[in-house]
Amino acid sequence: MTKRILLGVAATALVIVAAYADFYVAPTERTMGLIQRIFYFHAATAWAGEMVFFVCFVANLMYVWKREQKYDWLGVTCAEVGVACITIVLITGPIWAKPVWGIYWTWDARLTSTFVLWLLYISYLLLRTLIEEPSRRALLSALFGIFAFLDVPLVFFSIRWWRTQHPAPVIMGGQGSGLDPTMKKVFYFNVLAMHIFCAFLIVERYILEKLRHDVDLLQREAEVQ
Amino acid sequence: MSDPFAIFLAKLVANTLFLLLTEALMLPFFAIFYNISLWAQLPALSLVLFLGSVGIAIAGTAISAISAQARMRELLLPLLLLPLLTPVLVVSATVTGSLLDRDPVVQWKGIAFLGVFDLVFLTALWIFGQYFLEE
Amino acid sequence: MKNLDSVFAAYIVGWAVFFGFFLSIVRRTSALAAEVDRLKNSIRPKG
CB-facing half-sphere around the CA of A97: CA atoms within 13 A: 16
Q: What is the domain count for chain A?
A: 1
Using CA atoms, how far apart are residues A225 and A209, in angstroms rounded to an integer?
Answer: 25
What Å distances lie between residue B47 and A97, B37, B42, CA to CA? 39, 17, 8
The residues, any chain, with a CB within 8 Å of residue C25's CB and separated by 6 or more, are A201, A204, A205, A208
Q: Is C17 on the interface with A (CB under 8 A)?
A: yes
Calculate how close chain C gets to A82, using CA atoms only, in Å.
11
Q: Which domain holds residue B12?
A: 4-132
> Counting Cβ atoms within 10 Å, is residue B71 exposed (0-12), middle (13-18) or buried (19+)?
exposed
Q: Which domain holds residue A77?
A: 2-224
Residues composing chain C: 47
CB-based burial, C3-13: b 16+ in 10 Å, e otherwise = beebbeebbee
Tell if the CB–CB gap between B66 and A123 is shorter than 8 Å.
no
Read out DSSP for A116-130? HHHHHHHHHHHHHHT
Rounded-to-5 percentages of helix, strand, coil across chain B: 80, 0, 20
Tell if the CB–CB gap between A155 and B113 is shorter than 8 Å.
no
Model pLDDT, residue A181: 86
Taking CA–CA distances from C40, the nearest residue in chain A reads A218
Model pLDDT, residue A180: 82
pLDDT digits (tens, 9 = 90+) for A83-115: 999 999 999 999 998 888 888 998 877 888 899
Largest pairwise CA distance in chain C: 69
Calculate how close chain B gets to A67, using CA atoms only, in Å.
11
Model pLDDT, residue A147: 96
Model pLDDT, residue B83: 95
Closest CA to A53 of A139, A132, A126, A122: A122
Contact present, C13 and A45 (Cβ < 8 Å)? no
Locate the DSSP E strands across chain A: none
Model pLDDT, residue A164: 43
Q: Is B109 on the interface with A (CB under 8 A)?
A: yes
Model pLDDT, residue C43: 79
Largest pairwise CA distance in chain A: 71
Closest CA to B64 of B18, B8, B113: B8
Tell if the CB–CB gap between A211 and C36 is shorter than 8 Å.
yes
Q: Is B55 on the interface with A (CB under 8 A)?
A: no
The residues, any chain, with a CB within 8 Å of residue B47's CB and separated by 6 or more, are B111
CB-facing half-sphere around the CA of B109: CA atoms within 13 A: 9
Q: One-letter amino acid identity for C8?
A: F
Q: What is the domain count for chain B?
A: 1
Model pLDDT, residue B133: 84
**Neighboring chain A residues of B66 at a CB cutoff of 8 Å:** 127, 140, 143-144
Mean pLDDT of the region C27-43: 90
State the pLDDT confidence band at C25, using cuts at 50, 70 and 90.
very high
Across the interface, of A92, A99, A201, the residue whose CB is closest to C14 is A92
State the pLDDT confidence band at B22, using cuts at 50, 70 and 90.
very high
Model pLDDT, residue A163: 67
**Beta partners for residue A33, in sequence order:** A29
Tell if the CB–CB gap between C17 and A87 is shorter than 8 Å.
yes
Calculate how close chain A gets to B38, using CA atoms only, in Å.
23
Tell if the CB–CB gap between C29 and A204 is shorter than 8 Å.
yes
A29 DSSP 8-state letter: B
Neighbouring C-beta atoms of residue B104, cutoff 10 Å: 5
Model pLDDT, residue C46: 59
φ/ψ (deg, to 5) at B71: -80, 165
Calculate how close chain A gets to C19, using CA atoms only, in Å.
10
pLDDT along chain A (225 residues), means of 10: 92 94 86 85 94 97 96 97 97 90 84 93 96 93 96 88 52 49 91 96 96 90 82
Of A116 and C5, the structure prediction assigns the larger pLDDT to A116
**Neighboring chain B residues of A79 at a CB cutoff of 8 Å:** none
Across the interface, of C13, C18, C42, the residue whose CB is closest to A84 is C18
Calculate how close chain A gets to C35, using CA atoms only, in Å.
7
With a cut of 60, say whether residue B17 has pLDDT above it: yes
